[in-house]
Amino acid sequence: MELPHSQSVSSPAAAAVSETFLSVQGEGKRTGVPSWFIRFSGCNLRCRWCDTPYASWQPEGDSRTLDALLDEARQVRAKGYPDVVITGGEPLLFAITEPLSAALRAMGFTITFETAGTVDRPVTCDLMSISPKLASSTPTSDPRDPAGTWARRHEERRLNLATLQALISRYPGHQLKFVATTPADLAEIEGILAQLRGWKNEDVLLMPEGTSPPTADHKAWVFQACLSRGWRYCARLHIELFGNKRGT
């Protein structure tokens, strides 16, 4: 199966999955909740600091059918895990997420989607975790992109205000999670939020960028930015527990 970078995958019956695993949710409002993760492989963006390049820059994974994923879901439920995180890559590229999420809800799962908010798809979801990508995510002069093709594509696609608004409005359970690289990101975040409605300060999360624990300075300015704006500080529990390790 071709792994996507620009168009949605229309098959509702199968899609490339790079991994499924049990762990705890590492980021956001449901941090610490034991969860089953389904990671779809393929992304329409290429963040400079992407921590899952095996689902974006070099997408890997076998095609999994809807039936196969639901068989695994039944086993997960039988073991007593009621939470599922559908992530990527960009999971909303994949049409299979519509029947998959509906079936998971029917099985009694609480469902989180993790998306960059550039693709709109009507899935079944309890927490839509939206992570709009800032200018600091663009892979300018990245050795993985010598011609600059992805830097241009990424810059064109990374923010889609109409889609962000549609996701916020459709899913009352949502969070807006921003990856903070430098204090210069704050003005861009405030500019994005000013153009959106229907969110509350408690839904806005600021997370220090990095695949290793943040420095004291980095934590300090992110903390101050949250404190002065009423936003949430977002740690990365999985990095603390396991480091930057696949399948956690």
Pick the closer one to ligand SF4 by CB: 123 or 201: 123
Nearer to ligand SF4, 50 or 222 (CB): 50
Instruction: Supply angle C-alpha 228, 232, 238, rounded to 5.
Output: 140
Piece of 69-77, 87-95, 216-224, 233-241 that binds ligand SF4 (CB under 6 A):
87-95
The number of residues making up the chain comes to: 248
56 binds ligand SF4 per the rule CB under 6 A: yes
Q: Which is nearer to ligand SF4, 47 or 207 (CB)?
A: 47
Cα gap 213→216, rounded to integer Å: 9
Say if CB 16 and CB 40 are below 8 A apart: yes
3-class SS letters over 153-187: HHHHHCCCHHHHHHHHHHCCCEEEEEEECCCCHHH
Nearer residue to ligand SF4 within complex by CB, 2 or 217? 2
Nearer to ligand SF4, 101 or 118 (CB): 118
- For the bound state, the minimum distance from the C-beta of residue 89 to ligand SF4, rounded and expressed in Å, comes to 5
Site membership for ligand SF4, residue 90 (CB under 6 A):
yes
Q: Which residues contact 58 (CB under 8 A, 6 or more apart)?
A: none
Of 235, 138, 218, whose CA–CA distance to 177 is shortest?
A: 235
State which of residues 3, 38, 43, 189 lies at the interface with ligand SF4 (CB under 6 A).
Answer: 43
Q: Is 191 exposed, middle or buried (0-12, 13-18, 19+ CB in 10 A)?
A: exposed
Task: Give me 48's structure tokens.
Answer: 């400079």
b/e 17-41 (16+ beta carbons within 10 angstroms → b): bbbbeebbbbbbbbeeeebbbbbbb
Site for ligand SF4 in 91-150 (CB under 6 A): 116
Q: Is the separation of the CB atoms in 25 and 112 below 8 Å?
A: yes
If the CB atoms of residues 28 and 88 are measured against ligand SF4, the closer one turns out to be: 88
Residue 113: CB minimum distance to ligand SF4, A: 12
Among 26, 59, 61, 88, contact with ligand SF4 (rule: CB under 6 A): 88
Q: Which one of the spans 88-96, 160-168, 194-202, 216-224 is the region binding ligand SF4 (CB under 6 A)?
A: 88-96
- In the complex, the residues that contact ligand SF4 under the rule CB under 6 A are 43, 45-47, 50, 52, 55-56, 88-90, 116
